[in-house]
Amino acid sequence: MTDPTKPAIGLSVGATMLSAVTPERSITRRPVITLFRHRSPEVGLPSENPRLDEPGLVITDFVDRVGDPVPVVAADGSVHPAEALLADALRALAYTATAGRPLPPATAITHPAHWRAAAVDALRRAVGRIPEWSANEPLLIPDAGAAATALQADPGLPSRGVVALCDFGGSGTSITLFGADQAIAPTVRHLDFSGDLVDQGLLAHVLAELSAGGTLDVTGTSAIGSLTRLRAECRAAKERLSTVTVTALPAELPGFRGDVRLTRAELDEMMRQALAGLVTAVQDTMARAGVRPGDVAAVASIGGAAAIPVITTTLSEHLRVPVITTPRPALTAAIGAALRAARGPADTSATALAPAPVLAAEPVAPGEPGPATGRALAWSEAADLPDLAPVARRAPVREALPPVSPRPELDFEPDPVPATETSLPWYRRPMPVVVGALLVIAIAGAGTAVALRVDSGAAPATPSPSITTTPQAAPVPVDAPTSAPVQNQAVQATGVPPRTVVQAPAPATQTEIVQAPPVTTEAPPPPPVTETQTTTVVTTTVSTPPPVTETVAPPSSQPPFIPTIPTIPPIPTIPGLPQFLLPPQTSR
Which pLDDT does position 384 carry in this prediction?
A: 35
pLDDT for residue 165 is more than 80: yes
Closest CA to 75 of 87, 54, 61: 61
Tell me: the pLDDT tens digits for 520-537?
444 444 444 434 344 333
Tell me: the pLDDT tens digits for 400-429?
334 444 444 445 555 555 555 555 565 566
pLDDT for residue 385 is more than 80: no
What is the arithmetic mean of pLDDT over 199-219?
82
Question: In sequence order, which ranges of 380-504 are alpha helices (DSSP H)?
Answer: 389-392, 395-399, 430-458, 464-473, 484-503
> What is the spatial distance between Cα 144 and Cα 187, in angstroms, rounded to a whole number?
9
Closest CA to 309 of 339, 348, 358, 265: 265
Assign 218 to helix, strand or coil.
coil
Tell me: the pLDDT tens digits for 285-313?
999 999 999 999 999 999 999 999 999 99
pLDDT for residue 568 is more than 50: yes
- Beta bridge partners, 296, equal 162
- Beta bridge partners, 139, equal 108
Closest CA to 466 of 338, 580, 562: 562
Which pLDDT does position 210 carry in this prediction?
A: 84
Using pLDDT thresholds of 50, 70 and 90, give the confidence band for residue 392. Answer: very low
What is the arithmetic mean of pLDDT over 347-368?
39
Return all residues near 451 (Cβ < 8 A) that are at least 6 apart. none
8 A C-beta contact, residue 347 and residue 6: no
Side chain identity at 587, as an amino acid letter? S
> What is the spatial distance between Cα 113 and Cα 145, in angstroms, rounded to a whole number?
8
pTM for this predicted structure: 0.60
Tell me: the pLDDT tens digits for 475-526?
444 444 344 333 333 333 334 444 433 344 444 444 344 444 444 444 444 4
Domains of the chain: 1-155+326-343 (3.30.420.40), 195-270 (3.90.640.10)
